[in-house]
Structures are given as structure tokens and as C-alpha cells.
Chains A and B, each alone.
Chain A
Amino acid sequence: MSVDANIVKRIGHLARIKLEQENLDGLAGELNTILGFVEQLDEVDVSGVEPMTSVIPASLRVRKDEITDGGYADKIVSNAPLSEDNFFMVPKVVE
């Protein structure tokens, strides 16, 4: 499996990173180097092996249903690039 400029462009959009047209081939080359490296895994027989879901053998701890957080809208927006009346503001979204 290898990637070309078109695939890189598509991935760039999925990841929402603007990629300049002139860099696509170079990026494809770099990604292919990495993908080539990870393709060593094809040598490993993984039949019957469960994929790891957690590195520690435990199950999920649950939390009590209590209100213990929130109530600080000013702190939520204090780092926002743009906000008004404790709303975040973004370029208009067309649905």
C-alpha cells in the first residue's frame, strides 16, 4: 500500500490541515517511507490474537451521578481567540 499526492491531499482534508500543492509529492514520499517501515508487521502471524484494548488489565471505573463540575463559563472562554457573551465565535457555519 502506498500513497500518492491525491491520497495525501484527501488525508490532509480529513485531518483539516491545508497542504500546499507543491508539497504533496514530497509528503507522499515521506509517508511512504514510514508506511514501508511499518509494513514489516506483515511478517507477524497474528491469527487468533486479540487486538489490545487496554494495556492494563482492568475494566472501566464508574463515577457517581453527581454535579461536581461546571458553572464557570468565563473560564471556559478565557482562552478563546474570539468570544462574546460567553459564546465561542467561529466563521458562519452553513448547514
Chain B
Amino acid sequence: MSLVDTRTPDPKKFIKGATGDWEMVIGLEIHAQVTSESKLFSGSSTKFGNSPNSNVSFVDAAMPGMLPTINEECVRQAVRTGLGLKAKINNRSIFDRKNYFYPDLPQGYQISQFKDPIVGEGIVYLDMGKDGIVEIGIERLHLEQDAGKSIHDLHPNMSFIDLNRSGVALMEIVSKPDIRSSEEARSYIAKIRTILRYLGTCDGNMEQGSLRADINVSVREPGGEFGTRCEIKNVNSMRFAVAAIEYEARRQIDILEDGGKIDQETRLFDAKTGKTRSMRSKEEAHDYRYFPDPDLLPLEFDDEFVAKLAKDLPELPDEKHGRFVSEYGITSYDASVLISSRANASFFEDVAKGRNGKLSANWVINEFFGRLAKEELNVANSPINAHQLGGIIDLISNGDISGKIAKELFEIIWVEGGKPSEIVEKRGMKQVSDTGAIEKMIDEIIANNPEQVIKVKEKPQLIGWFVGQVMKASQGKANPRAVNEILKAKLGL
């Protein structure tokens, strides 16, 4: 691929070095496990965590004479992902063999796509908050087989090989070298993960390895020629991605500033030390001898196939974000929080439908998501549903309860469940809007506090003290607006 610099150097992202400023250039290859029942080229299960070699067919174990047959669902998922990345879909693509020896690669080659991938160039937008929207180019997406797993710690001088993952379908999503900071890299991974999860094409589970990234890092003088890159293999958390990039950029800068040069190499991030190190086994110059897999024919489909998948695509995060802002009048920031997952977004919509958007967003984000996070729960297993939260918001909007009471009500429902309006009724939580009762309380308070009455005439903001007294007397149930109005009238403010 030809490298094109699409970004304007941004001094805020520069790294200070001894000899001057440096700029990072980052490109990512994300490996996303395709959500499917069976493997890319065999009928064995993709299930995670089964006993060794139990999800393995003779095809996966590369027994002599075994042949691959492609899983249609994986093709569909790759095309859907391509559509989600606003990318060019290639109606004809070719599977190639990537030849290298490794014990967890039973065929001695990985079936991948080299020259003619199923998906071409696309684009991903990152919302970098006050830095605005950043555009990251997608170079390509291709389908390939996952390798098995080598386990090194079961025996002092042997490695154990489990092929359960061998042949599971992966999508490799290759970005252009458009990323300029570790934060952008994190945001990019998060965005790709959100898109994949919206589409249901990958579960995005980084701990289980369903989503992992190879990160290409180089440094250069701001705006200068691209430097020599190092590839950090198999990074499986966003936190590690940030740490690995920061460490690697600094390492390269130190070498360059000492007059050294960067060797293009494959490196590994060690989470314990927070450092990257050269990978011994991958050190030799690679010569993968790609050629079209003669066991497979060209993969072809027509425009109609793509159009049908496009039609059935769910609303994607960017579109949803735009709609939330315009339809519910919420801030861009709130919209970003709400669309982080399809389930969250749809919970919000259930709450906000026919209600005040801003108030709904507030409650969903601050009270509801906040509480879920604290309890390590999610929308699916939350004790409060959208209907109940909507009920609470209705009571606020109607003036039946104050915000403070609403929080108490939320707490009650979180623990005990129940219908918000019934609870408010039964437990006498409704605010008092009866002006007669409020007037009576205010009269008493004015009569008992002559000094405060004098003070408030000089300093009108002291009215807050009177409001507090009324709320106390009413056990929080007095309608604050009514209290304010009557107080102002009686105190002559």
C-alpha cells in the first residue's frame, strides 16, 4: 500500500525529546473473531474454553488430504462489517496461502486474503471531544483463519498445542497510518469494537482474545517523512495498547536521538513490565510466499447480495449519535455516552420516547449508568427497567416529586422494585403543592425568625435559608417552585 499522510501535524500531540519535538505515526491491524457457530473452513465449533483439541476437525488439524469449504455466514459477516466501515465491497475476492512454520499452524500456511481482499477502503470517525472529529482511513478488511494456541507453562521443556481456535474465522481490519497518538489509538479500537458489536459481527471480547490488535508504531519529526516502524503483536486490551504505544514511541525516540536507527521488527508487549521487547521467534526475515489457495475458487457474489445485507443493517453508532442529538435535543457528549452500546442506546430511547430528552439523558447517564457501573451490572441484568425509570421521570416532570425525592424513589425501586407512581402514592412522597399548607408553614417560620427576615431584605440570596426551612418542615415534599413564589411575596422580595 502506498503511504499517504492525511493528517495535519498537531503540536498538542507532539512528544518532547532532547533534540526537539517528535510525532507518532500509528497504524492498526485489528483481528476480530467473526461471530459464527462453525469455523471459516470447517464444520467444527468456534466455542471458547472447551477441552484441548475437542473443537477440532480433521480439516483443522491439517490431516493429509483434507480440504477447506467456506462458511457462508463468515462471508456475510465480513461484508456487513465492510458496510459498517463505509467501505468498498469487492464482489470478487481470492483466498491466498500465507506460508510459514509454527506449531500452532497445522497446515504450515494460513488461509488469508492478500491481493484481493473481500473489503477495500473505508473510513471511521473518531469523536475526540474538544479536539473534534478525526477521520481514520481503513485500508482493507480480509477474512483469514486463526491459529491454534501454544501453551508454554505446562512442561519444563515442551510446549503444548491446542488447535481449538485453529481455523476460527477472523476479520483483519487494517487502518491507514492515520493515527497520531495513543489516545486516538484507544479511541479507534473502541470505535471499531462498538461498530462490530452494533453489527453483531464480533463480540469484541478482548479478554478472551476475540478482538486483538497488532500496532505499527513509528516516530518522525513533525510532518516529516514516515519513520521505520515496529509492529507490536497481539495487544489484547485498550489499556495495554496505550501503554505499549507510549513505551514504544519513547524507545524509538531515545534510539534516534542517540544517533541510532530503528530496525523494522516484530515486538511483544509485556504487561508486567510495561515494556515492549523484540520477538525472538519472529526475528528472521519473513517471506510468506503468498499464492492463491488452489483448494478454493474465487469468492464471488453479486450486488444484490450486498444490497440485501445493506438493507438489513442496524442503525450504526454515527447515525444514531446524529439522530439522538437532533431528535432528543441532547448534547453531543451525552449522545456519545448513550450510543456506546446498542443495548444502552435502546434503553435510553425507551426511556426518552415521549419525554423530555435532556432530563431523560441526565437520568439514564448519571443515575442509571452510574449505578450500573458501581454494581458491575449492565442493562440486560439491571433491576430497574426503562418503563420504571420513565415512570420516575414522569413524576418529576409532572411536579409530583422533586429531584431529591426522585433519587430516593430510584433507590427504593432499585432495591425493592415496584411501580413508581404507586410507591409515591403509598409512601406519601408526593410534593405538597397545596399553597394553603405551604403558607401556613412559611408564616410560622417568618414569625419565629425575625432576625433572618431583616437580613434577607438586605441580602436576597438568603432566601435559600428560608426555602431550606420550609423543605425541612415539609419533609422535602413541598413543591420548591410554590415555596419560592410564596416566600418572595411574603418577604416582599
Point out residues on A near B: beta carbons under 8 Å: 13-14, 16, 53-54, 56, 58-73, 75-77, 82, 84-95
Contacts and interface: CB of A to CB of B under 8 A. Distances in A.
A9 B289 CA distance: 17
A92 B55 contact: no
B45 A67 contact: yes
B159 A89 contact: yes
Contacts of A93: 102-103, 150, 152, 159, 281
A60 B101 contact: no
Contacts of A88: 53, 103, 160-161, 163
26 contacts: A53-B298, A59-B300, A65-B73, A66-B43, A69-B44, A69-B59, A70-B45, A71-B45, A71-B55, A73-B52, A73-B56, A75-B58, A76-B58, A87-B161, A88-B160, A88-B161, A89-B155, A89-B158, A89-B161, A92-B155, A92-B156, A92-B157, A93-B102, A94-B281, A95-B152, A95-B280
Given A59-B92, A59-B297, A62-B72, 19 more contacts: A53-B297, A56-B297, A59-B298, A59-B299, A65-B72, A65-B73, A67-B37, A69-B38, A70-B44, A72-B54, A86-B52, A88-B161, A89-B161, A91-B157, A91-B159, A92-B159, A93-B281, A94-B280, A95-B268
Nearest to B277: A95
Contacts of B59: 69
Nearest to A68: B43
A89 to B, nearest CB: 5
Given A89-B161, A94-B281, A62 B52 contact: no
Interface residues of B, number: 57
B478 to A, nearest CB: 62
A79 B56 CA distance: 14
A61 to B, nearest CB: 7
Nearest to B299: A60
Interface in B270-284: 279-281, 284
B298 A77 contact: no
A64 B287 CA distance: 34
A58 B297 contact: yes
Contacts of B300: 59-60
B62 to A, nearest CB: 11
B275 to A, nearest CB: 15
A60 B113 CA distance: 14
